[in-house]
């Protein structure tokens, strides 16, 4: 079974997801950095604290790392993330003369992704999240849920790394279906195809699952 059929089955289960922007590229980048190795609740709390405390991203760029870390401590790993955020903002300011990433909208997807990945702590998943959720580009983020479900479905080999998975899945999913595929695979991974105790008896993909 190909990815089109998988998407159709998941759409039948969870409904059709329509894309809408999650914010400007820089805000989505910072949100995604804060989401690394923590829960959505904690990362959202940290991001809201950050934008409430500082006037704008330039103010964050000039703030001491210790101040940033204190503001985002609810998100976990605050010292590491504060250092990454400050470095990213300072690099953008030095390279572009102002602290925003709106210029990414004028770049092709490959170049935009490469630009984002030159920042510290920004890998394939984080860069893809910015392009997909902020700019609506068909760039597939492979998080832990997407990776796990794709391996169980046989879309990826069990020796495939997460880095390799981005290119392999990107090639298998039609660009127009990237958003649907990502959103449904994440939801399915959270609700049914869990890392521990997967609810196989409830899975609409059971007939094509290689894990059985």
- DSSP of 47-77: HHHHHHHSSSHHHHHHS-HHHHHHHTGGGS-
3-state secondary structure of 123: coil
Which of the following is catalytic: 81, 86, 113, 125? 125
Max alpha carbon distance in the chain (Å)?
55
Provide CB contacts within 8 A for 127, sequence distance 6+: 112, 113, 116, 117, 139
Residue 159 to residue 36: CA distance in whole angstroms: 23
Tokens found for residue 201: 């008896």
**End-to-end Cα spacing for the chain:** 15
Q: Report which DSSP code applies to 18.
A: P
Residue 125 is a catalytic residue: yes
Catalytic residues: 125
């Amino acid at each position: 079974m190909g990815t089109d059929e998988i998407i159709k089955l998941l759409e039948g289960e969870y409904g059709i997801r329509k894309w809408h922007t999650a914010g400007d590229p820089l805000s989505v980048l910072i949100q995604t950095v804060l989401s690394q190795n923590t829960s959505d609740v904690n990362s959202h709390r940290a991001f809201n604290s950050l934008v409430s405390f500082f006037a704008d991203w330039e103010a964050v760029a000039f703030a001491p790392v210790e101040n940033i870390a204190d503001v985002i401590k609810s998100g976990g790993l605050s010292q590491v993330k504060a250092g990454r955020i400050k470095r990213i903002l300072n690099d953008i300011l030095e390279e572009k003369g102002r602290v925003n990433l709106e210029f990414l909208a004028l770049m092709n997807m490959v170049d935009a992704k490469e630009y984002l990945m030159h920042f510290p702590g920004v890998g394939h998943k984080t860069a893809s999240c910015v392009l997909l959720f902020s700019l609506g580009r068909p760039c597939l983020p492979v998080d832990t849920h997407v990776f796990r479900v794709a391996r169980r479905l046989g879309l990826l080999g069990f020796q495939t790394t997460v880095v390799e998975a981005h290119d392999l899945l990107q090639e298998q999913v039609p660009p127009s279906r990237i958003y649907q595929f990502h959103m449904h695979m994440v939801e399915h991974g959270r609700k049914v195809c869990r890392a521990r105790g997967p609810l196989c008896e409830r899975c609409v993909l059971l007939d094509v699952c290689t894990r059985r």
